[in-house]
């Protein structure tokens, strides 16, 4: 694509400005962790702290079990991803390939999981899990997260599978494969990017949850997830903003790193099978 | 396995059965988690219940909660605020998302980094994002007020949280920041799947950038945008933690959405019967809205 | 088909094994104790001391002490109780427990007190723990507000430490200024929480309401808002906020921090302010005095009780723990370790001023509040406190935002309060 120098400059300008605006709050998080409380409560706002307290990061690591929280969040997220991916690959494929009567309605039903306000789900679910004796177990959160994730990933995968031409499976079936085998041996392997992208979304969704984790894991401090940990740092009388921001940096970083790492799958992953 | 069950699933006439089987795990899992709370909620909404007790004796069935709801100005206000927020945030996210996607779709150095940057807000958990924005919108020492003064837009610190109009905008901006990356990513993916030849051909025919966008990009993006729209809308409907921590639903209920109202009635005033009624109505509204939105893109969805 | 059944059974077995391993292995008895004070300096240590003492006397019994932050405390407790898994040892704010007691979830402590021959007369604030003619809990803290101030700021503005509302207002006006000339106020006369929930909002509003001789309800539970005194109280609050003498849209925590860093001249707050003051930039310069606005805000803070739906053995254990907390030894430690005014009349508070210099003042304000019958919880609106608080907060905010006349506002609030009371 040919571009005049002026267009190039404008483009770069637009991108840098946009990126700046978008990333500003994250930069602000860093500043809040490092600045003194005096700087935080004065104007003009401190953009670069005079005497950044880098020690805050090591301090918060020793005072709070950040790594434990991150570990728990990871376990829950991995569990949720595995469970929801298995279920939604099947469902997404089903919605995509088969014209089932009421398929659209079932698809819509799956979506209702996201429509009832969390407030009303909390107590009944707590009671259910309590009756099974699972309160405090990470499994409760894994299951709960999966139900939040499945509507999302099912529809995404359906959309993705829609872009893969059916000729591929039909060719396989002509060769004697059953439809399930066709799916496993033909469609899934070439869907890796789409699957990776969906799995990543599922991971982020699970990582971001706070409400369910808080409901089921409150009493089991060794099972707290990262968001619960951060929320617990709000004191009754005051909140140490330096500490909580530093902790927040630790909690947000892994997910941002994973994201950076796998970003190319994200966009590439949802690419249509047009080139295939 | 299929043969053992006495079915030949390869036969076209049995295909829809396979379809049901594939859908079953998802439907069952969702049903298991949703059905019971849904039943409890509907049950509670029909009783004059203050504090719920799972397993307690049922009180007489009454439509009192629903009557109260439909005649309550607070409820309609919450509906209105929810609608305003949904429209504002969805529109804002769409515009921001599509524009950033278009921007980043070009070839330039540092493209990878830019693309990642665009999506980072999505990766930051809500609990943390709202803390950041609460500080930025702080009325006494916040960055945003200072910026407005510096830009000459106002001569005093804006009281973001205690001014109804400003609070709504502070909330909207926070939610758009959090929500647009999702639209951006989906759009970007959609853009990638539009063959470049389409654009080349259009250019040859003398189409301008705007026309290319209108006639090629937008229609081909529709399917993806459809799903995205529904998911963003549901997210705004349901969101609770961002609003609660940032404005608490105030001031003067100017940011009290249905989900906040449900929470306040349930855990703030301990009126679970009434809260359940609000929740059930919210569910119904969401279902109708989703059906309308999904119905508009019949082909892919 | 058999193959499938076998698979299903194995899966179920595995699942149930996972469930059991996920549960805490309980060989000994474990009592659940949830609180928001686990991390608070002083208070947290005091609780842990009490827990250690209890565990030493009860072999094989452990108390699991977990934190739920104050902001989400009510909903967590509601979920636990409604979902059937309440904590054994119940710690609640004094304005929250009523709903739980109303549902029969709080054990009646009268028989337990009687059995051990414990007499609760003179126990500060214990009246608030009576509900439906039962003792539903034990009052842990009954306090009176104090007024902390920054002598440097006052001296520089040429004002004395105020002793009544007029002096307070004058001092606040004199000390609110823009220090660096950028047109934005950076030093405030006083500070109040004006964002966040209704509870703290009302508590801070009470400073002015009480000083004008008004209150939400009277002893019989009748709503007494449409009164000249209340109009005066609201007018005072409106003046302070409208004239910009307090930073706005801040939480109490942030206001405390500002004060501790020397940017606010005077702050009316409970005894807990001391902990924050000690950590601020202006720590060594701040002082404490008797509040200028009297009677001081105060009253009941938090209570300790027992869940009613636990086994009898567990109840006995919880009662033993409660007795540890009520013992003279720990009541004294409440002052020395946590810096609070213990409610027990038998507590020995001599010599506390050595570690907590303003302690005699705290006792003084506690007594002043008690004498005036002050409490945050209005009689007759206990159960509806949540809704009442939110309504008042909203109407007062409306008064500020739309610049309404307090004389009209009190009528609105009176009517709405009566409606809430009627149910």
Asked if A84 and A141 sit in the same domain, the reply is yes
pLDDT at B277: 93
Closest Cα of chain A to C71: distance in Å? 8
pLDDT at C388: 94
Instruction: Identify all chain A residues contacting B54, using CB atoms and an 8 Å cutoff.
Output: 123-124, 127
The pair of three-digit structure tokens given for residue A8, joined into one six-digit string: 């190039």
Most confident of A20-29, A242-251, C166-175: C166-175
The pair of three-digit structure tokens given for residue C245, joined into one six-digit string: 């003498």
A143 contacts A77 by C-beta, under 8 angstroms: no
**Residue B249, CA atoms < 13 Å, CB-side half-sphere:** 25
pLDDT at B297: 43
The total number of structural domains in chain A stands at 2
The one-character DSSP state at B287 is H
Q: Does A242 touch chain C (CB under 8 A)?
A: no
pLDDT at B11: 61
pLDDT at C20: 45
User: Best of B251, B261, B263 to disrupt the C interface by mutation (most C CBs within 10 Å)?
Assistant: B251
Asked if A196 and A172 sit in the same domain, the reply is yes
**Residue A190, CA atoms < 13 Å, CB-side half-sphere:** 18
Does the pLDDT value for residue A161 go beyond 90? no
pLDDT at A265: 64
Instruction: Identify all chain B residues contacting A251, using CB atoms and an 8 Å cutoff.
Output: 125, 128
> Which residue, among C69, C37, C101, C62, has the nearest Cα to C305 in the 3D structure?
C101
Closest Cα of chain A to C301: distance in Å? 13
What does the mean pLDDT of chain B come to? 83
Residue C76 to residue A130, Cβ atoms within 8 A: no
pLDDT at A177: 77
Residue C74 to residue B267, Cβ atoms within 8 A: yes
* Cα nearest neighbour of B252 on chain C: C394
pLDDT at B295: 66
pLDDT at A205: 86
How many cross-chain Cβ pairs, A to C, lie less than 8 Å apart?
A: 107
Q: What's the average model confidence in pLDDT over B147-156?
A: 80
Asked if A163 and A241 sit in the same domain, the reply is yes
pLDDT at C420: 92
pLDDT at A154: 87
Query: Whole domain around residue A233: which residue ranges?
Result: 64-272
Closest Cα of chain A to C84: distance in Å? 7
CB nearest C19 (choices: A123, A133, A236): A133
Across chain B, how many H-helices and E-strands are there?
13, 0
> Which of A57-71, A178-192, A212-226, C111-125 shows the lowest mean pLDDT across its residues?
A178-192
Q: pLDDT tens across A10-68, in order?
A: 888 888 888 888 889 988 888 888 888 778 777 777 788 888 888 889 988 988 899 99
What does the mean pLDDT of chain C come to? 88
Does the pLDDT value for residue B292 go beyond 80? yes
pLDDT at C419: 93
The pair of three-digit structure tokens given for residue B17, joined into one six-digit string: 């059965």
Q: pLDDT tens across B156-189, in order?
A: 777 888 888 889 999 999 999 999 988 888 787 7
pLDDT at B9: 53
pLDDT at A270: 47
Instruction: Identify all chain A residues contacting C37, using CB atoms and an 8 Å cutoff.
Output: 236
Does the pLDDT value for residue C75 go beyond 90? no
Residue percentage of chain A with pLDDT more than 90: 13
* Cα nearest neighbour of B25 on chain A: A87
Choosing among 3.30.450.20, 3.40.50.720, 3.40.190.10, 1.10.3720.10, the CATH entry for C2-143+300-371 is 3.40.190.10
Residue B127 to residue A231, Cβ atoms within 8 A: yes
Asked if A121 and A216 sit in the same domain, the reply is yes
Does the pLDDT value for residue A273 go beyond 50? no
Neighbours of chain A (3+ CB pairs under 8 A): B, C
Bigger pLDDT: A108 or C51? C51
Whose structure tokens read 């307690």?
B56
Q: pLDDT tens across C308-335, in order?
A: 999 999 999 999 999 999 999 999 999 8
Q: What's the average model confidence in pLDDT over B108-119?
A: 78
Does the pLDDT value for residue B300 go beyond 60? no
User: Best of C44, C85, C251, C274 to disrupt the A interface by mutation (most A CBs within 10 Å)?
Assistant: C85
The 10 Å CB-count burial string (b at 16+, else e) for A68-97 is bbbebbbebbebbbebbbebbbbbbbbbbb
| Residue A264: band (very low, low, confident or very high) from pLDDT cuts 50, 70, 90 | low
Domain-located, residue A244? yes
Q: What's the average model confidence in pLDDT over C10-16?
A: 52
Asked if A146 and A232 sit in the same domain, the reply is yes
Per residue, what are the HEC states of chain C?
CHHHHHHHHHHHHHHHHHHHHHCCCCCCEEEEEEECCCCCCCHHHHHHHHHHHHHHHCCCEEEEEEECCHHHHHHHHHHHHHCCCCCCEEEEECCCHHHHHHCCCECCCHHHHHHCCCCCCCCCCHHHHEECCEECCEECCEEECEEEECHHHHHHHCCCCCCCHHHHHHHHHHHCECCCCCCCCCEEEECCCCCCCHHHHHHHHHHHHHHCCCCCECCCCCECCCCHHHHHHHHHHHHHHHCCCCCCCCCHHHHHHHHHCCCEEEEEECCCHHHHHCCCCCHHHCEEECCCCCCCCEEECEEEEEECCCCHHHHHHHHHHHHHHHCHHHHHHHHHCCCCCCCCCCCCCCCHHHCCCCHHHHHHHHHHHHHCCCCCCCCCCCCCHHHHHHHHHHHHHHHHHHCCCHHHHHHHHHHHHHHHHHC
Q: What's the average model confidence in pLDDT over A264-269?
A: 59
Does the pLDDT value for residue A183 go beyond 50? yes
Does the pLDDT value for residue A197 go beyond 80? no
The C-alpha atoms of residue C401 and residue B138 are separated, in whole angstroms, by: 17
CB nearest B188 (choices: A111, A226, A267): A267
Choosing among 1.10.20.10, 2.30.30.20, 1.10.3720.10, 3.50.50.60, the CATH entry for B64-300 is 1.10.3720.10
Whose structure tokens read 């049922």?
B58
The C-alpha atoms of residue C306 and residue C26 are separated, in whole angstroms, by: 21
Does the pLDDT value for residue B75 go beyond 90? yes
Q: Does C18 touch chain B (CB under 8 A)?
A: no
Closest Cα of chain A to C33: distance in Å? 9
Neighbours of chain B (3+ CB pairs under 8 A): A, C
| Residue B12: band (very low, low, confident or very high) from pLDDT cuts 50, 70, 90 | low
Instruction: Identify all chain C residues contacting A41, using CB atoms and an 8 Å cutoff.
Output: 254, 257-258, 261, 263
pLDDT at C238: 95
C129 contacts C295 by C-beta, under 8 angstroms: no
Q: pLDDT tens across A64-107, in order?
A: 899 999 999 999 999 999 999 999 999 888 888 887 667 777 77
Q: What's the average model confidence in pLDDT over C183-210?
A: 89
> Which residue, among A50, A95, A55, has the nearest Cα to A246 in the 3D structure?
A55
Q: Does A271 touch chain C (CB under 8 A)?
A: no
Closest Cα of chain B to A41: distance in Å? 6
**Residue B112 parent element (H or E):** helix B111-123
Closest Cα of chain C to B88: distance in Å? 24
Asked if A28 and A68 sit in the same domain, the reply is no
Residue B19 to residue A94, Cβ atoms within 8 A: yes
Q: What's the average model confidence in pLDDT over C87-96?
A: 94
Could you state, in order of their start, the residue ranges of all structural domains in chain B? 64-300
pLDDT at C267: 95
Distances (CA, A) of B3 to A140, A186, B11: 36, 21, 12
Does the pLDDT value for residue B1 go beyond 80? no
C-alpha A58, offset from chain centre: 27
Residues of chain C with CATH 3.40.190.10: 2-143+300-371, 144-299+379-422
Q: What's the average model confidence in pLDDT over A206-221?
A: 86
pLDDT at C169: 95
Does the pLDDT value for residue B6 go beyond 70? no
- CATH superfamily of the C144-299+379-422 domain: Periplasmic binding protein-like II (3.40.190.10)
3-state SS class at B255: coil
Does the pLDDT value for residue B122 go beyond 50? yes
Q: Does A232 touch chain C (CB under 8 A)?
A: yes
Q: What is the ipTM of this complex?
A: 0.83
Residue C184 to residue B248, Cβ atoms within 8 A: no
Instruction: Identify all chain A residues contacting B177, using CB atoms and an 8 Å cutoff.
Output: 22, 25
Does the pLDDT value for residue C194 go beyond 70? yes
Does the pLDDT value for residue A188 go beyond 50? yes
User: Best of B68, B71, B268, B270 to disrupt the C interface by mutation (most C CBs within 10 Å)?
Assistant: B270
Domain-located, residue A59? no
| Residue B209: band (very low, low, confident or very high) from pLDDT cuts 50, 70, 90 | confident
Closest Cα of chain A to B34: distance in Å? 6
Closest Cα of chain A to C82: distance in Å? 7
The 10 Å CB-count burial string (b at 16+, else e) for C322-351 is bbbbbbeebbbbbbbbbbbbbbbeebebee
Instruction: Identify all chain A residues contacting C253, using CB atoms and an 8 Å cutoff.
Output: 235, 237-239
Q: What's the average model confidence in pLDDT over B64-76?
A: 91
pTM of the model: 0.86
* Cα nearest neighbour of A247 on chain B: B128
Does the pLDDT value for residue C170 go beyond 70? yes
The C-alpha atoms of residue C140 and residue C180 are separated, in whole angstroms, by: 45
Q: pLDDT tens across C343-365, in order?
A: 998 888 888 888 888 899 999 99
Asked if A132 and A25 sit in the same domain, the reply is no
Closest Cα of chain B to C314: distance in Å? 22
- The answer, yes or no, to whether the previous bond of B251 is cis (omega within 30 of 0) is yes
CB nearest B23 (choices: A106, A155, A267): A106
Does the pLDDT value for residue C176 go beyond 80? yes
pLDDT at C219: 87
Strand C264-269 and strand C188-190: pairing? parallel
- At C266, give phi and psi (nearest 5°): -135, 145
CB nearest C247 (choices: B140, B163, B271): B140
pLDDT at C112: 94
């Amino acid at each position: 694509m040919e571009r005049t120098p002026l267009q190039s400059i404008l483009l770069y300008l637009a991108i840098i400005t946009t990126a700046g605006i978008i990333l500003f709050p994250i930069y602000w998080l860093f500043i809040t962790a490092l600045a003194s409380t005096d700087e935080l409560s004065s104007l003009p706002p401190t953009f670069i702290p005079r005497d950044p307290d880098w020690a805050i990061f090591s301090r918060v690591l020793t005072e709070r079990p950040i790594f434990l929280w991150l570990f728990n969040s990871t376990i829950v997220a991995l569990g949720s991803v595995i469970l929801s991916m298995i279920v939604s690959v099947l469902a997404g494929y089903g919605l995509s390939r088969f014209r089932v009567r009421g398929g659209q309605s079932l698809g819509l039903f799956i979506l209702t999981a996201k429509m009832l306000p969390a407030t009303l789900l909390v107590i009944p679910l707590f009671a259910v899990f309590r009756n099974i004796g699972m309160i405090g177990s990470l499994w409760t959160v894994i299951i709960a997260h999966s139900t939040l994730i499945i509507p999302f990933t099912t529809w995404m995968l359906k959309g993705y599978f829609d872009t893969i031409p059916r000729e591929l499976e039909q060719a396989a079936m002509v060769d004697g494969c059953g439809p399930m085998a066709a799916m496993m041996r033909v469609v899934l392997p070439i869907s890796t990017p789409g699957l990776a992208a969906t799995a990543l979304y599922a991971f982020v969704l699970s990582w971001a949850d706070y409400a369910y984790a808080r409901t089921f894991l409150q009493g089991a401090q060794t099972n707290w997830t990262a968001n619960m940990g951060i929320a617990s740092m709000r004191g009754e009388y005051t909140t140490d903003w330096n500490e909580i921001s530093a902790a927040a940096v630790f909690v947000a970083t892994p997910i941002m790193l994973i994201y950076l790492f796998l970003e190319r799958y994200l966009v590439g992953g949802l690419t249509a099978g047009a080139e295939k | 396995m299929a043969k053992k069950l006495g079915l030949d699933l390869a036969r076209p006439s049995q295909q829809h059965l396979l379809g049901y089987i594939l859908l079953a795990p998802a439907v069952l899992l969702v049903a298991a988690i949703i059905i019971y709370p849904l039943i409890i909620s509907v049950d509670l909404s029909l009783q004059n219940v203050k504090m719920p007790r799972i397993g307690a004796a049922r009180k007489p069935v009454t439509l009192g909660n629903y009557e109260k709801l439909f005649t309550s100005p607070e409820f309609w206000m919450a509906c209105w605020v929810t609608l305003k927020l949904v429209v504002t945030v969805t529109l804002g996210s769409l515009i921001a998302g599509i524009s950033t996607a278009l921007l980043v779709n070009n070839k330039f150095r540092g493209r990878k980094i830019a693309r990642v940057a665009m999506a980072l807000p999505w990766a930051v958990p809500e609990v943390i994002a709202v803390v950041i924005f609460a500080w930025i919108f702080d009325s006494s020492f916040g960055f945003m007020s200072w910026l407005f003064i510096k830009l000459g837009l106002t001569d005093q610190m804006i009281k973001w949280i205690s001014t109804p109009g400003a609070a709504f905008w502070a909330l909207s901006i926070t939610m758009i920041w959090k929500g647009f990356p999702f639209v951006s990513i989906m759009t970007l993916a959609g853009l990638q799947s539009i063959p470049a030849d389409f654009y080349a051909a259009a250019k040859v025919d003398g189409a301008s950038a705007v026309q290319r966008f209108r006639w090629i990009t937008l229609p081909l993006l529709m399917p993806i945008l459809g799903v995205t729209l529904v998911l963003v809308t549901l997210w705004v409907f349901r969101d609770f933690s961002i609003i609660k921590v940032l404005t608490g639903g105030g001031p003067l209920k100017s940011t009290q959405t249905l989900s906040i109202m449900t929470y306040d009635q349930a855990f703030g005033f301990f009126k679970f019967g009434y809260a359940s009624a609000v929740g059930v109505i919210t569910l119904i509204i969401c279902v109708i809205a989703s059906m309308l939105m999904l119905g508009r893109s019949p082909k892919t969805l | 088909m058999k193959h499938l059944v076998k698979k299903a059974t194995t899966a179920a077995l595995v699942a149930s094994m996972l469930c059991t391993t996920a549960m805490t292995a309980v060989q000994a008895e474990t009592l659940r104790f949830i609180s928001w004070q686990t991390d608070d300096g002083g208070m947290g240590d005091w609780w842990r001391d009490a827990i250690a003492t209890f565990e030493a006397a009860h072999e094989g019994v452990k108390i699991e002490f977990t934190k739920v932050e104050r902001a989400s405390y009510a909903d967590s407790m509601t979920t636990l109780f409604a979902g059937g898994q309440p904590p054994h040892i119940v710690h609640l704010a004094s304005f929250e427990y009523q709903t739980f007691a109303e549902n029969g979830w709080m054990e009646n402590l009268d028989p337990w007190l009687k059995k051990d021959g414990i007499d609760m007369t003179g126990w500060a604030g214990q009246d608030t723990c009576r509900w439906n003619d039962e003792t539903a809990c034990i009052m842990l803290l009954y306090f009176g507000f104090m007024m902390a101030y920054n002598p440097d700021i006052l001296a520089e503005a040429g004002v004395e430490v105020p002793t009544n509302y007029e002096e307070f207002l004058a001092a606040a006006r004199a000390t609110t200024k823009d220090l660096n000339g950028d047109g934005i106020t950076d030093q405030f006369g006083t500070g109040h929480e004006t964002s966040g929930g209704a509870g703290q909002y009302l508590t801070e509003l009470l400073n002015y309401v009480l000083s004008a001789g008004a209150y939400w309800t009277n002893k019989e539970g009748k709503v007494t808002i449409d009164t000249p005194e209340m109009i005066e109280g609201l007018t005072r609050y409106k003046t302070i906020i409208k004239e910009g003498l307090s930073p706005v849209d801040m939480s109490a925590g942030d206001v405390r921090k500002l004060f501790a860093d020397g940017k606010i001249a005077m702050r009316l707050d409970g005894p807990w302010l001391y902990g924050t003051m000690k950590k601020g930039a202006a720590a060594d310069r701040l002082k404490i005095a008797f509040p200028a606005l009297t009677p001081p805000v105060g009253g009941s803070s938090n209570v300790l009780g027992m869940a009613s739906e636990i086994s009898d053995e567990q109840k006995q254990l919880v009662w033993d723990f409660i007795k540890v907390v009520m013992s003279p030894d720990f009541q004294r430690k409440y002052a020395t370790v946590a810096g609070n005014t213990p409610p027990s009349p038998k507590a020995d508070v001599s010599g506390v001023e050595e570690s907590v210099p303003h302690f005699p003042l705290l006792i003084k304000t506690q007594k002043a509040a008690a004498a005036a019958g002050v409490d945050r919880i209005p009689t007759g609106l206990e159960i509806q406190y949540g809704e009442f608080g939110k309504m008042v907060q909203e109407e007062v905010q409306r008064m500020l935002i739309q610049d309404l006349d307090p004389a009209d506002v009190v009528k609105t609030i009176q009517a709405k309060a009566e409606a809430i009371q009627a149910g």
